[in-house]
Amino acid sequence: MYQEIDLDKIDIHADPPLEEPARQYYFMAKCRKWVKGFEQRNGRLPKSCVLNFGCQMNARDSEKLSGILKQIGYILAEEEDSADFCIYNTCTVRDNADQRVYGRLGHLNSLKKKKPSMKIALCGCMMQEPGTVERIRKSYRFVDLVFGTHNIYKFAELLAEMFEQDRMIVDIWQSTDAIVEELPAERKYPFKSGINIMFGCNNFCSYCIVPYVRGRERSRNPKDILQEISSLAADGVVEIMLLGQNVNSYGKNLEDQMNFAGLLREVEKIEGIRRIRFMTSHPKDLSDELIQVMAESEKICRHLHLPLQSGSTRILKEMNRRYTKEEYLSLVERIRRAIPDIALTTDIIVGFPGETPEDVDETIDVIRKVGFDNAFTFLYSKRTGTPAAAMENQVEESVMKEGFDRVLKVVQDTARKRVALLAGRTMEALVEEENEQDPSLMTGRLANNILVHFPGEPSLIGQIVPVHLREYKGFYYLGERM
Ligand code: 5AD
Ligand code: SF4
């Protein structure tokens, strides 16, 4: 596990070590020297800003980037305007994520014109797409550093190169087997943390770009995961989220005999950890053993995110999801029978090639039958290089939107009804922050992922407290601490 390493004791005039992570600590020491030079020239430390555009994995990667920047001496800033170094950790799962990045790059360009010493870096999933790098080379020449998902652990080394050179540095790998442990991370919240348990995805759902930009599935060693969680617990973390594109297939490529249910049993034993979450589960791989472990657990949150994508068996087949509508419904029934109070959330895509209004009716039928506590509904987005992008029967935008609106309405109605059932109950909330609008209120998260706002003091932040759910306001509760 990562421990404080005194960077000043590393001899940066020697050759860099070849093994990891020692090599990255060597480059961190080099970067720190650069930061000290900046301080001498400017009478202040440089500021850096890390922005993430994607999922929880992306957010966790950003914590690792921030951890390295902090180690080398940067002050971490929330926004770009005052930053001397700005890095965008991009996402490419849907086209609007790409467009957001291009839009904000325009703003960065104007900032850099005012402050030419500013450095700009781009990393993450979007950079793994060949077209993106070409576009950046051609039209965004003010960018200083571009790297991808496979070599993110080399951030310190790439930074050192960026400080030494005056040209755009591009380093994109097509794949990697390496899992480099023991690098620093700077958590956004002191009391909760994500933990990568696996990287990549082997499922190749036909609409999805993830397997192409994140590579093949690789599981981390259980020993490393458990050790990381133990030290997080020792550092005050009470809630953890185990992260992977498909956590239910954890362990398949490992020498140790360990599956996801087994890993959860081990995590449960770690003292200090009060809540365990995980993301994301693929319905095809969700085992009865996992349901049993969840039912027996005292720490695993009564919440399961189980992406449906579509309720039409025909479309599910085209999507290469490898379950039918009936199999999904029967899985939900098994889960609910074992864990009656579980909250179920999901992802839904509307407008996949060939989808008809009748297919959308099937999706709506599943939403009604399951009664999700929340559902993220997405318009299908064509991702170049995926099988679905080459399908001829792409759905017209107006038809897509019509289906989307119908789905959204049912999702909202059913979610509202389900969550409203909790009114009057007292549940445990992990207090996360002061309410943005009203500082007399604190915001807590229930095990089922619903937020509750209640009168309280900032000293409660990080504690798990019982809260009476008084009034349901549509997607969140107002309550009182009991
Ligand atoms: N278009 C729309 N939504 C998509 N997702 C993944 N790929 C696409 C796409 N091409 C959605 C899925 C997935 C979530 C993370 O993003 O619903 O579960
Ligand atoms: Fe994409 Fe499917 Fe893998 Fe999820 S499971 S990341 S939707 S390919």
Residue nearest to atom 7 of ligand 1 (CA): 208
User: pTM for the complete prediction?
Assistant: 0.95
Residue 309 CB–ligand 1 contact under 6 Å: yes
CA-only gyration radius of the chain, Å? 23
Is the minimum distance from the CB of 378 to ligand 1 under 6 angstroms?
yes
Q: Pseudo-torsion of CA 192, 196, 200, 201, nearest 10°?
A: -70
Q: What is the pLDDT of residues 319-335, one digit of tens each?
A: 999 999 999 999 999 99
Q: pLDDT at position 250, please?
A: 97
Residue 392 neighbours by CB under 8 Å, 6+ apart = 353
Letter for the amino acid at 474?
A: G
Instruction: Give residue 4's pLDDT.
Output: 65
Is the minimum distance from the CB of 245 to ligand 2 under 6 angstroms? yes
Token output for 209: 């770009």
Q: Is the CB of 349 under 6 A from ligand 1?
A: yes
Residue nearest (by alpha carbon) to ligand 2 atom 1: 208
Q: Assess whether pLDDT exceeds 50 at residue 261.
A: yes
Residue nearest to atom 14 of ligand 1 (CA): 347
Average pLDDT over residues 141-158: 97
Q: Please, are residues 93 and 124 in contact by the beta-carbon 8 Å criterion?
A: no
- Cα angle 266, 218, 5 (rounded to 5 degrees) comes to 70
Amino acid found at 115: K
Closest ligand to C-alpha of residue 93 is: 1
Where do the DSSP E strands lie in 34-98? 47-52, 75-77, 85-90
Residue from 91, 205, 252 whose mutation best tests the ligand 2 pocket (most atoms within 8 A of CB): 205
110-114 long-range Cβ contacts below 8 angstroms, 24+ apart: 111/80, 111/81, 111/86, 112/142
Residue 280 pLDDT > 70:
yes
- Cβ of 93 closer than 6 Å to ligand 1, yes or no, is yes
Per-residue pLDDT, 1: 47
pLDDT per residue as tens digits for the range 376-414? 999 999 999 999 999 999 999 999 999 999 999 999 999
Ligand nearest to the CA of 321: 2
**Residue 466, CA distances (Å) to 166, 239, 303, 426 in order:** 56, 16, 18, 6
Give the integer Cα–Cα distance in Å for 36 and 45.
8
Percentage of residues in the chain having pLDDT higher than 90: 95
| pLDDT at position 303 | 97
Assess whether pLDDT exceeds 90 at residue 294.
Answer: yes
Which numbered atom of ligand 1 lies nearest the CA of 280? 18
The pLDDT of residue 10 is above 90: yes
The ligand that comes nearest to the alpha carbon of residue 355 is 1
Q: Is the predicted pLDDT of residue 53 greater than 50, yes or no?
A: yes
User: Which atom belonging to ligand 2 lies closest to the Cα atom of 245?
Assistant: 6
